[in-house]
Amino acid sequence: MVLSNNDGCVIARSADAKPYVQMGAPYFQIKNDLRRHGIQAFSSNYALYGDMSERVMAVIEGMVPAVEVYSIDEAFADLTGMPGDIEQLGRDIRSRVLKWTGIPTGIGIANTKTLAKLANHSAKKWQKQTGGVVDLREPDRRDKVLKVLPVSDVWGVGRRMTAHLNSQGIRTAWDLAQADAWTLRKQFSVVIEKTARELRGTPCLALEEAASPKKEICSSRMFGTRLRDIESIRQAVATYTATACEKLRAQQSVCRQIRVGVRTGMHNPDEAKYAKGVALQLPWATDDTRMITHYAMLALEQAYRAGFSYSKAEVMLLDLCQRTEITGDLFAPQQSAESTKVMAVLDEINAKWGRGTLRPGRVELSPEWGMRREMMSQSYTTRLDQLWSVGCR
C-alpha cells in the first residue's frame, strides 16, 4: 500500500491488501496490523509514478489514433476506424503495456465513455474470467453487465448521489439506464441525464485530446516538521511558488493574482490553532517566477503570526488567462520581453538538466521542513544512482 504526504494515511492498496486495510486509514494506527498480515507500506514517490504513467501512455498512444489522458493511471482511446478484431486489439494493448512497462492494466471497450468506464471496472472486478478486457459493444452483453452492477459503480455517481437514486428505486446501472432522461435532469442534474443516456449507448461526452488550461493552480504540501520561524516558511512558500509557476508556463498561461495561506495542525486538541490566507493583486499579468515570488513573500508577511507551530502552507495562482487572451493597452504596464526570455531559458535548462538545476535562491532542494517519506521506494527510472543492479555469474 502507498501512504499520503508525510506518511500520513493510506491512499492506495493492492488487491491483496484491500481486505485488511481501509482507504484513508492513519498509518500510525494500523502499522502493527500490517506487519501481522505481511503488508508492505511505501511512502509516495511522485517522480516514479509520473514517469511510469508517461511510459504507459506512450505505449497506448503508439497503438491507437487518439488518446485522452484522463488521470495518472487512466486514459480514453478512440478506436473508431481501427481495422480487425477490436477486442483482440484491447488484449494486444494490455499485453504490450505489461511487457514494456511491467504495469498490469484493465481495458474496457464500449460505444460511450461511461460504458467504457463500466467495462473497465468489470475487467478489473472479474479479471480471471475476462483476462482483463471487457467489450460491451454488443447490447446483450452490455445489458447483462448493467443489471448486475450497483449504480454506485457508475462513473460520476458518488455516495450521496447513490443514496438519492436509491430513494427513487434506482439501485443498479440498468435501473439508471432505463430511467426517463428528462425526469433525471429535473430531479438531479444534466450530468446524471447524460450519464443515463451514455449507459444506453448514446454518446454525450467527446474525447478531449488536449487538456483544457486550468483556471487556477495550487501548490501545497504539509511540512515534514512543525515550523515556527518565518524564514523556514519563506523557503517553503518560495519553493511552492516556483513549482506553481512551472505549471503556469507549461500551459502557456499568466496570472493576475496570488494567494498565500498558512495554517497550524487542526486535529491536536492541545495545540494552538491558526489559519489565514492573503490574496494580492499583481501589477500586471505575468508568469515570471521572480515577480510572483516577491508578491508571495509580501502575502506571507501579512498571513504569518508569531507564536504558532505551522504544519502547512499553500500558494494559489488565481485569475489565470492564456497569453493570447490579453488585450493590449498602450498605457497599461505589462511583462517585459526580457522577463519572458529569462523564464524560457529557465525552463529550457531545467528540462534538459533536471528540475531544480536553475532555481530562485530561496528554493531549497532538500530542506529540513521537506515532506517526510521514510519508506519511499527507489526511483528506478528517474535517478541514475537508484537504477536496478543486475548481477551475473
The answer to whether residue 168 sits within a structural domain is yes
Split at pLDDT 50, 70, 90, the class of 112 is: very high
DSSP letters spanning 106-141? -EEE-SSHHHHHHHHHHHHHTHHHHTTEEE--SHHH
Per-residue pLDDT at 127 exceeds 90? no
What is residue 222's predicted lDDT score, i.e. its pLDDT?
Answer: 83
The answer to whether residue 95 sits within a structural domain is yes
Residues 6 and 133 in one domain: no
Please list the residues that pair with 263 across neighbouring strands.
Answer: 275, 312
Residues 236 and 323 in one domain: yes
Distance of alpha carbon 244 from alpha carbon 246, whole angstroms: 5
Q: What is the mean pLDDT of residues 73-88?
A: 91
The answer to whether residue 39 sits within a structural domain is yes
The answer to whether residue 312 sits within a structural domain is yes
Residue-wise pLDDT for 351-366, tens only, equals 888 777 888 887 776 6
Distance of alpha carbon 241 from alpha carbon 290, whole angstroms: 9
Residue 184 half-sphere exposure toward CB, CA atoms < 13 A: 21
End-to-end Cα spacing for the chain: 34
Strands 107-109 and 133-135: parallel
The answer to whether residue 49 sits within a structural domain is no
Residues 164 and 233 in one domain: no
Q: Are 299 and 278 in contact (CB under 8 A)?
A: yes
What is residue 81's predicted lDDT score, i.e. its pLDDT?
Answer: 85
- The backbone region for 253, taken as left when phi is positive above 0, alpha when psi lies in -120 to 50, beta otherwise, is beta
What is residue 327's predicted lDDT score, i.e. its pLDDT?
Answer: 66
Q: Letter for the amino acid at 56?
A: V
Residues 116 and 171 in one domain: yes
Residues 146 and 184 in one domain: yes
Distance of alpha carbon 39 from alpha carbon 2, whole angstroms: 11
Domain count, the chain: 3
Express as a percent the part of the chain with pLDDT over 90. Answer: 52
What is residue 365's predicted lDDT score, i.e. its pLDDT?
Answer: 67
What is residue 344's predicted lDDT score, i.e. its pLDDT?
Answer: 92
Alpha-carbon distances, residue 342 vs 256, 284, 291, 322 (angstroms): 19, 17, 12, 19
Distance of alpha carbon 246 from alpha carbon 336, whole angstroms: 18
The answer to whether residue 208 sits within a structural domain is no
Query: Grid coordinates representing 264?
Result: 497550524
Residue-wise pLDDT for 307-345, tens only, equals 899 999 999 999 898 877 776 666 677 888 888 899 999
What is residue 93's predicted lDDT score, i.e. its pLDDT?
Answer: 95
Residue 292: closest CA among 256, 328, 319, 261: 256
Residues 321 and 275 in one domain: yes
- By residue range, what is the domain housing residue 158? 58-199
Residue-wise pLDDT for 193-250, tens only, equals 999 999 999 999 888 866 778 889 999 888 888 888 898 899 899 999 999 999 999 9
pTM for this predicted structure: 0.76
390's CB contacts (< 8 A; 6+ apart) are none
